[in-house]
């Protein structure tokens, strides 16, 4: 066989997701794209703010020399200073540019952090249901994924987390707000998690790191905000990007920030910078780094996503679905009316409604709806959702 066994078996396991995408494309060709309700991907449908275009135009027409050259692997100092300023304004700590490494999106940032931390066989705790790429990222560095359930409303289950912590635990990953559930973890539950990690770090004689993946932290509804992870614990890596809040996922720009008081900070940040380079990213894209300082306080209009959530939740509730109302992101994770979520997703597909089975997120018995689509797609899909539910009730 030409490709690595691990990769060929990953392709095999993912093949039903691929099949769904292929069938979606086929259905769009057959029935017309307006008659296929595609909720499968977290690709934001809102265009980036106009300011993105204005700043990019200015940047690309500038006559400055070296605009497109290599730079320090951590990123431009001016960009990192701007990010450090943003973090200092929005968290209760003062950040220095040395605390920030610019990365190729949050996905790139997660890989950089995990490469910097993991020895083969180290365990990384993830909280189910979780973003499915984490297990692959952990495996990239020969770590072992330990999946721990959350409570029925997807809040943190501290007892389950405590049971999972052992001498091989190197880190825990949380996603706040969460993909696929839309849950926002609250300040008190994060503090309790921090206390737990402090206790078990002492026991292990070395830190258990908390990696907080927050690319949706600005996409929060009903006037809520995302609590600062830095208040909860010291051994923290914040990983984030501009993929979702500025609708720039194709541009691959994000950053990792360490807690200003993280242990052995110089060593940790040097490791991040080295890993950014040797993973082949070298540095985050230059043009995007030049742009980001002007956009740190901006985002797409989050009220538009809130409206989509409200249309969807109302329609699904009327159609007989049960779910926890998402507090952020653009995902809804309803219960399937039967245990076999793959079968239920297939039934939805018969109505040209494309969603993803919860099993793909270690959340069986559920399915994920990515509502980053236009309002009309959501509205037009509701009768189909209701018809499918009727079949099972
Ligand atoms: C929870 C989570 N983390 C990371 C990513 C990757 O984002 P990026 O495009 O910034 O790499 C995604 C993308 O969907 C995500 O949902």
Binding pocket residue ranges, ligand 1, CB within 6 Å = 42, 105-107, 131, 175, 179, 213, 215, 241, 243, 249, 254
Q: Find the 215 Cα to ligand 1 centroid distance in Å.
A: 6
Q: Which atom of ligand 1 is nearest to the CA of 108?
A: 11
Cβ neighbours of residue 216 closer than 8 Å, sequence gap 6 or more: 175, 176, 177, 179, 244, 245, 328, 329, 330
232: nearest Cα among 188, 189, 194: 194
What number does the ligand 1 atom closest to the CA of 175 have? 1
Three-class SS state of 63: coil
Beta carbons of 227 and 90 less than 8 angstroms apart: no
Whether the Cβ atoms of residue 211 and residue 233 lie closer than 8 Å to each other: no
The answer to whether residues 92 and 230 touch, using CB atoms and an 8 Å cutoff, is yes
- For residue 73, what are its two tokens? 């692997």
Nearest to 179 by CA among 363, 19, 342, 381: 363
The answer to whether the beta carbons of residues 87 and 100 sit under 8 Å apart is: yes
Distance 244 CA to ligand 1 centre (A): 8
d(CA 256, CA 211): 10
What is the Å distance from ligand 1's center to 106 Cα?
Answer: 5
- Ligand 1, atom 6: nearest CA belongs to which residue? 107
* Angle between helices 302-318 and 375-392 in degrees, nearest 10: 20
**Could you identify the atom of ligand 1 that is nearest to the CA of residue 42?**
14
pLDDT of residue 38: 93
Closest ligand 1 atom number to CA of residue 254: 10
Alpha helices in the chain (DSSP H): 5-13, 15-31, 50-60, 77-90, 105-117, 133-140, 158-164, 187-204, 265-278, 286-291, 302-318, 341-350, 375-392
Q: Where are the alpha helices (DSSP H) in 338-374?
A: 341-350
- Ordered per-residue pLDDT tens for the chain, 393 residues: 799 988 888 887 776 666 777 778 889 899 998 899 999 989 999 999 999 999 999 999 998 998 999 999 999 999 999 999 999 999 999 999 999 999 999 999 999 999 999 999 999 999 999 999 999 999 999 999 999 999 999 999 999 999 999 999 999 999 999 999 999 999 999 999 999 999 999 999 999 999 999 999 999 999 999 999 999 999 999 999 999 999 999 999 999 999 999 999 999 999 999 999 999 999 999 999 999 999 999 999 999 999 999 999 999 999 999 999 999 999 999 999 999 999 999 999 999 999 999 999 999 999 999 999 999 999 999 999 999 999 998
208 Cα: distance to centroid of ligand 1 (angstroms): 23
Alpha carbon of 257 to ligand 1 centroid (Å) = 16
């Amino acid at each position: 066989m030409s490709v690595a066994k691990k990769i060929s078996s990953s392709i095999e396991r993912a093949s039903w997701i691929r099949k769904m995408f292929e069938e979606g494309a086929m259905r769009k060709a057959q029935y017309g794209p307006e008659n296929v309700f595609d909720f499968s991907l977290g690709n934001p449908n809102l265009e980036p703010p106009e300011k993105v275009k204005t700043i990019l135009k200015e940047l690309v027409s500038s006559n400055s020399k070296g605009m497109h050259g290599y730079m320090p692997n951590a990123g431009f100092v001016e960009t990192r200073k701007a990010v450090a300023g943003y973090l200092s304004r929005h968290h209760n700590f003062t950040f220095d540019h040395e605390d920030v490494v610019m990365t190729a999106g949050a996905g790139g940032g997660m890989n950089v952090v995990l490469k910097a931390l993991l020895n083969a066989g180290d365990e990384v705790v993830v909280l189910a249901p979780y973003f499915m790429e984490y297990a692959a990222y952990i495996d990239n560095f020969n770590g072992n994924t330990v999946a721990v359930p959350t409570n029925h409303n997807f809040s943190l289950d501290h007892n389950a987390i405590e049971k999972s912590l052992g001498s091989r635990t190197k880190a825990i990953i949380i996603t706040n707000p969460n993909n696929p559930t839309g849950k926002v973890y609250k300040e008190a539950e994060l503090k309790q998690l921090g206390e737990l990690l402090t206790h078990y770090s002492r026991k292990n004689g070395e830190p258990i790191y908390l990696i907080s993946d927050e690319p949706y932290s600005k996409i929060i509804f009903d006037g809520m905000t995302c609590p600062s992870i830095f208040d909860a614990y010291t051994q923290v890596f914040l990983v984030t990007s501009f993929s979702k809040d500025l609708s720039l996922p194709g541009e691959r720009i994000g950053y990792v920030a360490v807690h200003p008081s993280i242990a052995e900070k110089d060593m940790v940040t040097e490791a991040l910078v080295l890993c950014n380079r040797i993973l082949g990213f070298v540095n985050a894209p230059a043009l995007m780094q030049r742009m980001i300082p002007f956009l740190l306080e901006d985002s797409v209009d989050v009220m538009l996503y809130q409206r989509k959530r409200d249309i969807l939740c109302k329609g699904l509730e009327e159609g007989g679905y049960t779910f926890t109302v998402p507090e952020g992101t653009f995902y809804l994770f309803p219960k399937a009316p039967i245990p076999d979520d793959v079968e239920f997703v297939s039934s939805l597909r018969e109505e040209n409604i494309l969603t993803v089975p919860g099993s793909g997120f270690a959340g069986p018995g559920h399915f994920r709806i990515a509502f980053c689509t236009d309002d009309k797609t959501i509205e037009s899909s509701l009768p189909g959702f209701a018809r499918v539910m009727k079949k099972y009730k």
